[in-house]
């Protein structure tokens, strides 16, 4: 019923104005799915390979499409993804590109859901899913690789942990973003926006902490539920010759651990992503030992949605949470495997967008399908609200 008839690939624009891969999958019974690959800027060294778009499309047309058309069922996601892996023949999708692979993988899932007449989250997660919703972590101030002349820390994330519903949480994050805009205006601090729509003022990290703390407190008082905040420190981007360089601050590994542990205490942080380098399993473990009962220590560049790297982390208690980015590993099946391994080992999952995004809302469904406790997908901007509004629609059963 869901046998793939046609796979079409094209280049479209992402939110940075770069080209990215879009895939259409059509089944013999008339099912249709369309998906597009996102793209990172602060990419981890161990991520699957994103090829230049024209190369990725040409290679996928040559190697993957003939193996899928007329041969593989879109409803059998494992077979779709195994076929992509076999067509590629490498560990890291360097032949057809993780950008082609993830677009086809996600488009096939959507085509199968279309044939079944089920929402994507139900096709991926089963009939009993749809009752739990992730807490959205919303980037409200940021810099690093996502904006020039802004904070050294990549992301300050609003975390509406006490929100009674996903809709309240989404609106609260937007309100925090708006409140920060007002505070910056009052202070006469000009601010552009970074790649993910967060404010990117030219202020120090210390000033950003005060600003975000004030905004979440103000909005929390207004909406009547608890809003905390968290960070993506993207430390691998700042790690040079054994030291962490954040603006004028240079810290050894031990100093970085002390600094982050101090921030967790001082600001009661809900979440800290990539506080240390992408190879620093032992240092991660030391920090998790110190503050892991108070906050989430999340591996993004550390784990790159890869079960082998996650297993190595689980072995040494490196973290208590993992970021899940399907394009980091190349297929939905691989992302599911990482989620399953994480969940079985008590790690919280955070399904995530990339800094370069499209209108594609697959990750909203992936988060609901897997009962992910968190989703990180920005706060404002059309490519971010595409996912946030989809969560609201899923909760409203208005798909």
Is 355 an interacting residue with respect to ligand PEP (CB under 6 A)? yes
Q: How many residues bind ligand PEP (CB under 6 A)?
A: 11
Q: Considering beta carbons, is residue 43 or 173 the nearer one to ligand PEP?
A: 43
Question: Exposed, middle or buried by CB within 10 Å (0-12, 13-18, 19+), for 266?
Answer: exposed
Stretch that binds ligand PEP, among 99-107, 251-259, 291-299, 351-359 (CB under 6 A): 351-359
Select the residue interacting with ligand PEP from 21, 36, 41, 339 (CB under 6 A).
Answer: 41
Which partner in ligand PEP, Mg ion, none is near 362 (CB below 5 to 8 A by kind)? none
Provide the token pair at 235: 């430390």
Annotated binding site for (2R)-2-phosphoglycerate: 154, 325, 354-355, 376
Which partner in Mg ion, ligand PEP, none is near 354 (CB below 5 to 8 A by kind)? ligand PEP
- Segment 193 to 222, residues that bind ligand PEP, using CB under 6 A: none
Which partner in ligand PEP, Mg ion, none is near 298 (CB below 5 to 8 A by kind)? none
Which partner in ligand PEP, Mg ion, none is near 337 (CB below 5 to 8 A by kind)? none
User: What's the closest the beta carbon of residue 156 comes to ligand PEP, in angstroms?
Assistant: 13
User: What's the closest the beta carbon of residue 313 comes to ligand PEP, in angstroms?
Assistant: 17
Which partner in Mg ion, ligand PEP, none is near 279 (CB below 5 to 8 A by kind)? none
Is 101 an interacting residue with respect to ligand PEP (CB under 6 A)? no
Annotated binding site for substrate: 146, 155, 273, 300, 352-355, 376
Annotated binding site for Mg(2+): 232, 273, 300
Reduce the secondary structure of the chain to three states and give it as a string: CCEEEEEEEEEEECCCCCEEEEEEEEECCCCEEEEECCECCCCCCCCCCCCCHHHHHHHHHHHCHHHHCCCCECCCHHHHHHHHHHHHCCCCCCCCCHHHHHHHHHHHHHHHHHHHCCCHHHHHHCCCCCCCCCEEEEEEEECHHHCCCCCCCCEEEEECCCCCCHHHHHHHHHHHHHHHHHHHHHHCCCEEECCCCCEEECCCHHHHHHHHHHHHHHHHHHHCCCCEEEEECCHHHCEECCEEEECCEEECHHHHHHHHHHHHHHHCCCEEECCCCCCCHHHHHHHHHHHCCCCEEEECCCCCCCHHHHHHHHHCCCCCEEEECHHHHCCHHHHHHHHHHHHHCCCEEEEECCCECCCCCHHHHHHHHCCCCEEECCCCCHHHHHHHHHHHHHHCCCC
Q: Active site includes 196?
A: yes
- Segment 286 to 325, residues that bind ligand PEP, using CB under 6 A: 300
Q: Is the dihedral of CA 293, 295, 296, 298 positive or negative?
A: negative
Chain residues in the site for Mg ion (CB under 5 A): 232, 300
Select the residue interacting with ligand PEP from 43, 151, 238, 253 (CB under 6 A).
Answer: 43
Query: Helices 362-369 and 382-395 meet at what angle, rounded to 10?
Result: 40
Spatial contact of 244 and 235, defined as CB atoms under 8 Å apart = yes
Pairing state of beta strands 155-159 and 135-142? antiparallel
User: What's the closest the beta carbon of residue 144 comes to ligand PEP, in angstroms?
Assistant: 8
Q: What does each C-alpha distance from 211 to 140, 182, 395 come to in angstroms?
A: 10, 11, 32
Provide the token pair at 316: 């040494």
User: What's the closest the beta carbon of residue 66 comes to Mg ion, in angstroms?
Assistant: 36
Which partner in Mg ion, ligand PEP, none is near 43 (CB below 5 to 8 A by kind)? ligand PEP
Q: Considering beta carbons, is residue 196 or 300 the nearer one to Mg ion?
A: 300
Stretch that binds ligand PEP, among 14-22, 98-106, 203-211, 348-356 (CB under 6 A): 348-356
Provide the token pair at 19: 């080209």
In the stretch 139-178, what mask flags binding to ligand PEP with x, by CB under 6 A?
------x---------------------------------
Select the residue interacting with ligand PEP from 232, 286, 383, 390 (CB under 6 A).
Answer: 232
Q: Active site includes 228?
A: no
The catalytic residue among 179, 196, 357, 383 is 196
Stretch that binds ligand PEP, among 58-66, 92-100, 126-134, 352-360 (CB under 6 A): 352-360
Is 42 an interacting residue with respect to ligand PEP (CB under 6 A)? yes
| Catalytic sites, residue numbers | 196, 325
Residues of this chain that interact with ligand PEP (CB under 6 A) are 40-43, 145, 232, 234, 300, 352, 354-355
């Amino acid at each position: 019923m869901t046998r793939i008839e046609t796979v079409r690939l094209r280049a479209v624009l992402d939110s940075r104005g770069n080209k990215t891969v879009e895939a259409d999958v059509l089944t013999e019974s008339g099912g249709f799915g369309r998906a597009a690959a996102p793209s990172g800027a602060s990419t981890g060294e161990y991520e699957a390979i994103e090829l230049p778009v024209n190369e990725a499309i040409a290679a996928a047309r040559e190697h993957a499409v003939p193996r899928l058309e007329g041969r593989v069922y879109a409803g059998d996601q494992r077979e779709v993804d195994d076929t992509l892996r076999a067509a590629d023949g490498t560990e890291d999708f360097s032949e057809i590109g993780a950008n082609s692979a993830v677009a086809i993988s996600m488009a096939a899932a959507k085509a199968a859901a279309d044939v079944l007449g089920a929402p994507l989250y139900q096709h991926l997660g089963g009939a009993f899913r749809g009752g739990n919703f992730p807490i959205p972590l919303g980037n409200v101030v940021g810099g690093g690789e996502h904006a020039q002349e802004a904070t050294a820390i990549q992301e300050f994330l609003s975390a509406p942990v006490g929100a009674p519903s996903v809709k309240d949480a989404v609106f609260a994050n937007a309100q925090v973003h708006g409140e920060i805009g007002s505070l910056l205006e009052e202070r006469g601090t000009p601010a552009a926006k970074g790649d993910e729509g967060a404010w990117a003022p030219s202020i120090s990290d210390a000033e950003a902490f005060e600003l975000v703390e004030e905004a979440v407190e103000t909005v929390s008082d207004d909406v009547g539920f608890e809003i905390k905040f968290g960070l993506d420190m993207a430390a691998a981007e700042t790690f040079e010759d054994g030291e962490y360089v954040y603006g004028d601050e240079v810290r050894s590994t031990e100093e970085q651990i002390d600094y982050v542990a101090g921030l967790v205490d001082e600001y009661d942080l809900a979440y800290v992503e990539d506080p240390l380098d992408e190879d620093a399993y032992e240092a991660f473990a030391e920090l998790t030992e110190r503050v892991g009962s108070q906050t989430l220590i999340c591996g993004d560049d550390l784990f790159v949605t890869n079960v082998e790297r996650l297993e190595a982390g689980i072995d040494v208690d490196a973290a208590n949470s993992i970021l899940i980015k399907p394009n980091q590993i190349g297929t939905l099946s691989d992302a599911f495997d990482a989620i399953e391994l994480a969940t079985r080992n008590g790690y919280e999952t955070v399904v995530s967008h990339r800094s370069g995004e499209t209108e594609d809302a697959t990750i909203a469904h992936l988060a609901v399908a897997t009962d992910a406790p968190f989703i990180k997908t920005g706060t404002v901007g059309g490519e971010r609200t595409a996912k946030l509004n989809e969560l609201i629609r899923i909760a409203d059963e208005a798909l």
